[in-house]
């Protein structure tokens, strides 16, 4: 349920409405816009049906949210969520941000070389896996905390923000120490304990769509994070599993405008995992920008043939330079920009 306060509502008016909602055992989420403050009642809103919230001083209107995903819906928040970092980088605004780097952190030297190249091309966020969830337990599983330390050193030397994947709640303290954005991978999209945990921290979360998840299931997973207080969530379309075998996954670009219509959260496209083929990454990155995405995530490796993971979908730095040049043209055509 959404309670829209009048522009002239006082802090006392806001407190009275909040207290009435909490008295029924529900949580309250406060969203302050330019003109109005909106309260979201979190929980089973049926308990509020007998509470005349519309009669409270300072209340302009009361609305039921029809979607099952409440806090992340456009009904709850009309304006786009902007995620801004201390260095001025913003995800969700007119400028499309690019996250780039190797699938896995293999060594400090390798990571720093790639970081310097992607920064020179215009990327502002470095991606790299320290903990690698793999289909086979016998393949490379990542460097762990050593990988996080390499990421932090690359950030210190290049100024790039850092994103890496969290697999286990026990690693969350290290993530908070070393990274700027926490990634929840496709295999953990419905790991609800993990979603609750990242919902309680003050760090942006990139949530990847599950391999066979519907858009509704995707947004309900984001709701788990938002319900614990963290609404700095980036939704990542990274391809879904279909009957097609020519590509690793089917990159569902329909999801971009659909998500933009349903939620206020920024939407990112991952053409690397979405196709699994390096030769398709550039055209699908162009398509993602044309479809309206707010960010791209691209795998870049200095020697894909010897990559510890996902070399077949990684661009060499020269090809990444080409990608950046081409997506800039598309962004300009649709009224956006890329650094």
The domain that contains 24 carries what CATH number? 3.30.70.1140
CATH for 307: 3.20.20.70
45-to-72, 214, 272 alpha-carbon distances in Å = 16, 25, 41
Are residues 53 and 114 both part of a single domain? no
Indicate whether 138 pLDDT > 70.
Answer: no
Task: Report the DSSP pairing between strands 161-165 and 2-5.
Answer: unpaired
Are residues 229 and 122 both part of a single domain? yes
Are residues 54 and 201 both part of a single domain? no
Say how many domains are in the chain.
Answer: 2
Q: Which tens digits make up the pLDDT trace of 33-88?
A: 777 898 988 877 778 888 899 999 999 999 888 788 989 999 888 899 999 999 99
Determine, yes or no, domain membership for 78. no
- 3-state secondary structure at position 132: coil
Cβ atoms 316, 75 nearer than 8 A: no
Rounded to whole angstroms, how far apart are CA atoms 193 and 145?
Answer: 22
Determine, yes or no, domain membership for 69. no
Domain boundary among 63, 92, 107: 63
Indicate whether 141 pLDDT > 80.
Answer: no
- 3-state secondary structure at position 195: helix
Are residues 51 and 172 both part of a single domain? no
The per-residue pLDDT for 135 is 67
Determine, yes or no, domain membership for 11. yes
Are residues 16 and 104 both part of a single domain? no
Are residues 36 and 132 both part of a single domain? no
Which parts of the chain are beta strand (E)?
Answer: 2-5, 27-32, 37-42, 59-63, 83-84, 90-91, 95-101, 125-127, 161-165, 181-184, 205-208, 233-237, 267-269, 295-299, 337-338
What is the value of pTM for the model shown? 0.88
Determine, yes or no, domain membership for 268. yes
Are residues 94 and 174 both part of a single domain? yes
Are residues 27 and 161 both part of a single domain? no
Are residues 246 and 316 both part of a single domain? yes
Are residues 100 and 210 both part of a single domain? yes
Determine, yes or no, domain membership for 74. no
Determine, yes or no, domain membership for 330. yes
The per-residue pLDDT for 109 is 94
The per-residue pLDDT for 134 is 62
Q: Which domain holds residue 34?
A: 2-63
Determine, yes or no, domain membership for 73. no
Q: Which tens digits make up the pLDDT trace of 99-118?
A: 999 999 999 999 999 999 99
Determine, yes or no, domain membership for 238. yes
Are residues 171 and 41 both part of a single domain? no
């Amino acid at each position: 349920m959404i309670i829209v306060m009048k522009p002239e509502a006082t802090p006392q008016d806001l407190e009275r409405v909040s207290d009435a909602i909490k008295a029924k055992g529900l949580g309250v989420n406060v969203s302050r816009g330019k003109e109005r403050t909106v309260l979201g009642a979190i929980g089973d809103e049926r308990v509020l049906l007998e509470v005349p919230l519309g009669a409270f001083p300072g209340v302009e209107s009361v609305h039921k949210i029809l979607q099952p995903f409440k806090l992340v819906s456009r009904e709850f928040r009309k304006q786009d969520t902007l995620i801004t970092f201390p260095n001025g980088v913003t995800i969700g605004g007119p400028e499309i941000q690019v996250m780039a780097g190797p699938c896995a952190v293999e060594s400090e030297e390798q990571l720093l070389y790639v970081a310097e190249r992607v920064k020179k091309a215009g990327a502002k966020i470095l991606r790299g896996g320290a903990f690698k969830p793999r289909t086979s337990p016998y393949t490379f599983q990542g460097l762990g905390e050593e990988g996080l330390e390499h990421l932090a050193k690359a950030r210190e030397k290049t100024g790039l923000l850092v994103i890496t994947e969290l697999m286990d709640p026990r690693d969350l303290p290290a993530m908070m120490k070393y990274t700027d954005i926490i990634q929840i991978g496709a295999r953990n999209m419905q790991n609800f304990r993990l979603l609750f945990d990242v919902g309680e921290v003050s760090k942006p979360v990139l949530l990847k769509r599950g391999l066979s998840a519907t858009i509704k299931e995707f947004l309900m997973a984001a709701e788990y994070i938002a319900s614990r207080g963290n609404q700095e969530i980036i939704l990542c379309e990274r391809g879904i599993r279909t009957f097609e075998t020519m590509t690793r996954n089917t990159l569902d670009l329909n999801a971009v405008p659909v998500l933009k219509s349903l939620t206020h959260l920024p939407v990112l496209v991952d053409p690397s995992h979405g196709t699994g083929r390096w030769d398709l990454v550039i055209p699908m990155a162009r398509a993602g920008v044309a479809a309206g995405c707010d960010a791209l995530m691209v795998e870049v490796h200095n020697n894909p043939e010897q990559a510890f993971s996902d070399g077949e979908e990684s661009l060499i730095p020269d090809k990444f330079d080409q990608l950046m040049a081409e997506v800039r043209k598309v962004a300009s055509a649709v009224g956006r920009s890329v650094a």
